[in-house]
């Protein structure tokens, strides 16, 4: 049948063909086992296809490069009968409308937590080579530009990204007529649920999140905040800019050349010991990072100011410079890939929880390929698309990924 809206029926199974194994016959790292934690929003009457089968098919399809709901259904429809059976479809596969109606009704936050835990269970522990290494989580928001709601508002999602593994630990949708600031607390409640605790975790964020409430929240949970400071905190910004930086020795200086430019980054840090210290709760250090860039003979220089709640004994200038740069990982290694490789901004899905659910599937695809060592996500998705049986075997087995070594922040 050529129409996606038509139900696709398997040919009659030969009498000697054994029935496929139940989808729950897997190990604790199987995606089928993980997805059993997702609540089924459908009425129990008339459930023709297992929820875990539909979700597993969607996860695999996006790992193979599917960029839309229709593409997910196409990926399943174009597979052979053995792939259908391995996904848990025993007589037919669901129509596109069936898949779409189910996915847009799922709780996107729950799905995000379930898949984040699954990816973390599969990722091998980081072998720490530096005594000051710590888990660094980058926070940033992204607008799904193609997903305009009925009132013309775009869908805005806030994510917490583990910079050591490439896994999105949590994602929340920002409420209408609101912004990222109120969404920070619910986001990190979800992160704490995934990690078990925020103790010793460092959160790096842009200037929007240099908020007193954020610093208090993380400090109460045993975590730390490192945030840029700009004009949204004018008093603090003036205090940081007015510090005697000329008298502070250079902590670390790095030089890089590439992409037609030369860049020098100079990091200085100091602990303010005057009464009251920095005008920001729990701030232990003030940081200035000066970037000097030369592109086609033209040189520019800019200074960025940050605060860190980690004292000098736990965060040297080399550490601070590395952590500040890791805040860009969420933009370069996640959001950019979602846009360019998985074409998120071109996807016009806007009904129900559809945009947030599909963003979660994209995050899972990228995180899965990252923990398996992929640096080119486009190439990894093409390989997965051409080898569906290998993909299904990989997501249903207990074989962990290769051990990763972190040698930063010595």
Q: Is the pTM of this model over 0.85?
A: yes
What are the extents of the domains in the chain?
8-109+349-404, 227-312
Give the Cα separation of 57 and 38 in Å (integer). Answer: 15
| DSSP state letter for 149 | -
Give the Cα separation of 214 and 198 in Å (integer). Answer: 13
What is the pLDDT, as a whole number, of residue 124? 76
| DSSP state letter for 220 | H
Classified as helix, coil or strand, 358 is helix
What is the pLDDT, as a whole number, of residue 145? 81
For residue 31, what is the enclosing H or E element?
helix 31-35
- Sign of the torsion angle spanned by Cα atoms 32, 37, 39, 44: positive
Buried b (16+ CB within 10 A) or exposed e, 60-71: bbbbbbbbbbeb
What is the pLDDT, as a whole number, of residue 387? 95
| DSSP state letter for 123 | S
Q: Which residues of the chain are modeled with pLDDT < 50?
A: 1-26, 400-410
- Confirm if 33 and 397 have CB atoms less than 8 A apart: no
- Confirm if 55 and 89 have CB atoms less than 8 A apart: no
What is the pLDDT, as a whole number, of residue 177? 75
Cα 95-100-102 angle, rounded to 5 deg: 100
CA-to-CA dists, residue 231 to 89, 169, 228, 294, angstroms = 56, 30, 10, 26
What is the pLDDT, as a whole number, of residue 276? 64
Q: Write the pLDDT tens digit of every residue in 199-258.
A: 999 999 999 999 999 999 999 999 999 999 998 899 999 999 999 999 999 999 999 998
User: Which residues, in sequence order, are CB contacts of 347 under 8 Å at separation 6+?
Assistant: 67, 68, 144, 146, 147, 355, 358
- Sign of the torsion angle spanned by Cα atoms 186, 187, 192, 194: positive
- Sign of the torsion angle spanned by Cα atoms 379, 323, 229, 262: negative
């Amino acid at each position: 049948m050529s129409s996606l809206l038509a139900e696709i029926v398997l040919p009659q199974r030969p009498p000697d063909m054994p029935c496929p194994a139940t989808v729950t016959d897997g190990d604790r790292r199987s995606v089928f086992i993980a997805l059993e934690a997702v609540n089924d929003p459908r009425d129990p009457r008339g459930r023709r296809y297992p929820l875990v089968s539909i979700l597993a098919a969607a996860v695999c399809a996006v790992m193979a490069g599917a960029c839309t709901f229709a593409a997910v259904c196409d990926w399943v429809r174009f597979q052979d009968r053995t792939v259908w059976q391995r996904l848990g479809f025993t007589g037919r596969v669901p129509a596109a409308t069936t898949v779409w109606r189910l996915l847009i009704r799922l709780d996107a936050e729950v799905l995000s937590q379930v898949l984040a835990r699954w990816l973390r269970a599969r990722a091998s522990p980081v072998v720490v080579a530096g005594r000051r290494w710590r888990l660094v989580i980058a926070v940033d928001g992204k607008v799904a530009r193609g997903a305009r709601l009925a009132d013309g508002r775009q869908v805005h999602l806030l994510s917490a990204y583990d910079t050591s593994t490439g896994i999105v630990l949590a994602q929340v949708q920002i409420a209408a007529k609101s912004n990222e600031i109120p969404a920070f607390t619910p986001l990190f409640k979800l992160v704490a649920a995934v990690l078990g605790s925020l103790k010793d975790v460092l959160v790096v964020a842009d200037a929007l999140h240099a908020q007193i409430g954020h610093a208090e929240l993380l400090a109460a949970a045993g975590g730390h905040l490192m945030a840029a400071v700009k004009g949204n905190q004018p008093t603090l910004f003036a205090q940081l800019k007015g510090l005697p930086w000329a008298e502070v020795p250079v902590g670390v200086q790095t030089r890089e050349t590439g992409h037609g430019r030369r860049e020098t980054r100079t990091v200085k840090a100091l602990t303010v010991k005057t009464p009251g210290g920095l005008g920001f709760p729990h701030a232990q250090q003030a940081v200035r990072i000066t970037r000097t860039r030369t592109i086609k003979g033209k040189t520019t220089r800019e200074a960025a100011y940050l605060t860190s709640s980690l004292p000098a004994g736990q965060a040297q200038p080399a550490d601070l410079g590395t952590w500040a740069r890791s805040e860009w990982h969420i933009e370069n290694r996640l959001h950019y890939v979602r846009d360019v490789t998985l074409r998120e901004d071109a996807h016009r899905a806007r009904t129900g929880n559809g945009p947030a659910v599909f963003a979660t599937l994209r995050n899972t695809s990228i995180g899965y390929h990252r923990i398996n060592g992929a640096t080119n996500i486009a190439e990894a998705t093409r390989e997965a698309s051409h080898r569906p049986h290998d993909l299904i075997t990989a997501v249903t087995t207990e074989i962990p990924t290769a051990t990763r070594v972190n040698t930063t922040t010595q």
